[in-house]
Structure 1
Amino acid sequence: MNSETPTLLYIDDDKALARLVDRGLTRLGLKVVHANGGTEGLERLAQGGIDVIALDQYMPGLDGLETLERIMAIPSAPPVVFVTASQDSKIAVTALKAGAADYLVKDVHGDFVPLLQVAVDGALRQARLQKARDDAEAEVHASRDRFAALAAEREVLLREVNHRVGNSLQIIASLLHLQASSAAEDDVKAALTNAMGRVAAVAQVHRRLYTSHDLKSVVLNQYLDALLEDLRRSAEGNKMSRLTVKSEPIEIDPDRAVAIGIIVNELVMNAVKYAYPDGAGPIHVDLVARGPDLELSIADNGVGLNAKTDPRSTGMGQRIVSAMATKLSASVERDPAHSGTRIVLRFPRTASKPPAKAAPETANQHS
């Protein structure tokens, strides 16, 4: 659009009136191009360089409404001011609904020319505003598309990283499992099995991330099922035949899922080693929502925490559970009413709450 001298295409079969329009609008700062009918006007429009159109209704061949319909079908068509001598309001309504920017009643003496200039100026301003809006919307859409493409690329990269990390951790866990299976000494076997469980807890989180559509959260019931299945395949797996898990499908961020997995591993392995000195017994892992908080419990029906501590214990498990509980802002308590041992952790779903009370030393006495 030429902002200095806009070009008006005046489509009207009345040549005398066209000359009046040409003289009047030229004095008012417009360049006027005349077309003698609808077909001629469309041909001139196709040549380009037209900023605005004034269109008469009654013409031989294509009338104004038919010409307007064809103009509106052209991409980025100039604005149209519909001009007619008819006082019929139906024509005005039809023209405006068809896309005309304005409507004007003309007279044969050319007295309408100043009004036409006002209508043309208004149509040009409206067209400029619409173009600015369209350009802004196009830029917004383009920016959104660029952002979506970058987000998709980032997601693919994150998924690939999690896949590679998960595979590496799984290899490490498998090597520890093989080493534990071939170890002759019980304390070495137990230490390797514990290490395998800790690695598996982290590896399962990465597996959940790269096999899920959501890279920001882990579904805990699926995660704990897979984690405990890894433990059943460990060197101590023959003592886990009665290991059960019950968890709600709660979503949590990956870092907190790792902490939960490590705690479960430590307390389950503690129960495997110490709860049933004469063999295997039931071990239950439960995770439920309690309002805004989560409650995790690991329970057995064994000899209880008052039994004699194994002299080989290093206290590593207790320190790990305490560290992970702090990461979760969790309270850790022993259920005194439970026969055997039941450890209960309560913590917020998110890390936004202040830390809860510190984990007591009785939480994992034997490890």
Structure 2
Amino acid sequence: MNQRTPTLLYIDDDGALARLVDRGLTRRGYRVVHAASGEEGLDRIRRACAESNIDGIIDVVALDQYMPGLDGLETLEQIMAIPGSPPVVFVTASQDSSIAVTALKAGAADYLVKDVTGDFIPLLHVAAEGALRQSELQRAREEAEAEIHASRDRYAALAAEREMLLREVNHRVGNSLQIIASLLHLQASSAAQDEVKAALTNAMGRVAAVAQVHRRLYTSQDLKSVVLNQYLDSLLEDLRRSAEGNRMSRLTLKAEPIEIDPDRAVAVGIIVNELVMNAVKYAYPDRAGPIHVELHADGEDVLLSITDNGVGDNVKADPRSTGMGQRIVAAMASKLDAVVERDPAHSGTRIVLKFARMPVAPNRTSTAAAS
């Protein structure tokens, strides 16, 4: 593909010198357009910048300093104010270096001293080539910066849309799970058999543990973490409103504001639900009693304990028990890569879990890998 011939606009009131420039630069691959005054040159540049016709484009300007009417510096100032104006090489017969400094500060791409015989034309060709390269680099830089800004805007828009969709999903999932928990609560309240009531209440607590996480994510500014003290407080309030709520009047929580990811928060909530319900069922079989849930940081780890002052090891095995609660606790502890211990020094029952605040590395041996 043939490259387009670049056009140089030569603004100078000296017609004879303009013809020398035309002949000299034409031999060097340029098309030269002459303007005899600053006003005429500005008019040509404005029309060239406004037209979409590629043949009317002015690629570079050579601007003389001394002209009647607008002089070179005044013309340069107005050229720089035209959007999309071409680069300007400032040309003068003066040896005064201060003119060069003023022209360059005003926006000229280059500066050279002319003579009346045209010996400066090779230098003008070099300056025009440099100005064109500089202009192309500047244009490429501006286009790259514009693309970067556009990419950032697109990314920000996609991130905002993704966050909105995640919030909407969490909102819908949380609502659906809350409806299921409410239905289980109604069924448990109307159940005639104690074992059915207990099973439905346990199921309701498990569903509520998951629903609370989604509710937290929907109302939080951070979709990547859940604050455990707030989450557990809401979860225990759900348990107090359950069918077994009259036996949880002395259920307390003491927790620090520890943040973990939503998946692991669900595991913590389900463990708390199972162990609290287990204490309600077995530690105080005929009455309400104190049940304490505590959660605090221990360096990089988290300690979770559920404590009661009930019958402890004196509890009799329930022949109706399926062991489902224990299996659920074991599965969730495995998900947390947690160590689960029973405190033998406590007169009632105290279960302590210790797990890392952050998920374990994938290459670390974990009991979760076997589940």
TM-score surpassing 0.5?
A: yes
Q: Which of 214, 219, 223 does residue 222 from structure 2 map onto?
A: 214
Q: What do the CA deviations read for 1:24-63 (whole angstroms, capped 9, x no partner)? A: 1111111111112222111001221100111122222222
Cα offset, 1:181, TM superposition: 1.2
C-alpha distance 303-322 of structure 1, shift in aligned 2 (>3 A):
same
Is the CA contact 1:329–1:355 (under 8 Å) kept in the aligned structure 2? Answer: no
Residue matched to 2:233: 225
Separation of aligned partners in 2, 1:26 and 1:84: 21
Separation of aligned partners in 2, 1:184 and 1:117: 101
Report the more deviating stretch, 274-283 or 119-128: 274-283
Separation of aligned partners in 2, 1:317 and 1:268: 11
Equivalent positions of 1:51-200 (< 5 A) are 51-200=59-208
Q: What do the CA deviations read for 1:154-175 (whole angstroms, capped 9, x no partner)? A: 2222222221111111000001
Q: What do the CA deviations read for 1:255-285 (whole angstroms, capped 9, x no partner)? A: 1111111011101111122222342222222
Q: Aligned pairs, how many? A: 357
- The amino acid of 1:193's aligned partner reads T
Report the more deviating stretch, 167-176 or 140-149: 140-149
Residue matched to 1:252: 260
Separation of aligned partners in 1, 2:340 and 2:160: 40
Separation of aligned partners in 2, 1:235 and 1:172: 15
Q: Which of 343, 355, 359 does residue 351 from structure 1 map onto?
A: 359
Q: Secondary structure of 2:351's match?
A: strand
- The amino acid of 2:303's aligned partner reads E
- The amino acid of 1:315's aligned partner reads G
Residue matched to 2:26: 26
Separation of aligned partners in 2, 1:18 and 1:337: 105
RMSD: 1.9
Q: Which of 249, 256, 264 does residue 272 from structure 2 map onto?
A: 264
Separation of aligned partners in 2, 1:31 and 1:141: 36
Separation of aligned partners in 2, 1:110 and 1:22: 10
C-alpha distance 290-8 of structure 1, shift in aligned 2 (>3 A):
same
Cα offset, 1:355, TM superposition: 4.8
Cα offset, 1:357, TM superposition: 6.4
Moved over 4 A (4+): 355-358
Is the CA contact 1:295–1:347 (under 8 Å) kept in the aligned structure 2? Answer: yes
Gaps of 5+ in 1: 359-367
Q: What do the CA deviations read for 1:190-249 (whole angstroms, capped 9, x no partner)? A: 111100000000111111112222222222222111111111111111122222222222
Cα offset, 1:356, TM superposition: 5.3
Q: Is 1:314 aligned to 2:322, yes or no?
A: yes
Cα offset, 1:253, TM superposition: 1.6
Separation of aligned partners in 2, 1:196 and 1:211: 22
Separation of aligned partners in 1, 2:366 and 2:29: 77
Aligned identity (percent) is 82
Separation of aligned partners in 2, 1:63 and 1:239: 96
Q: Secondary structure of 2:312's match?
A: coil
Separation of aligned partners in 2, 1:99 and 1:247: 65
Q: What do the CA deviations read for 1:54-82 (whole angstroms, capped 9, x no partner)? A: 11222222222222222222222211111
TM-score, with length taken from structure 2: 0.91
C-alpha distance 233-294 of structure 1, shift in aligned 2 (>3 A):
same
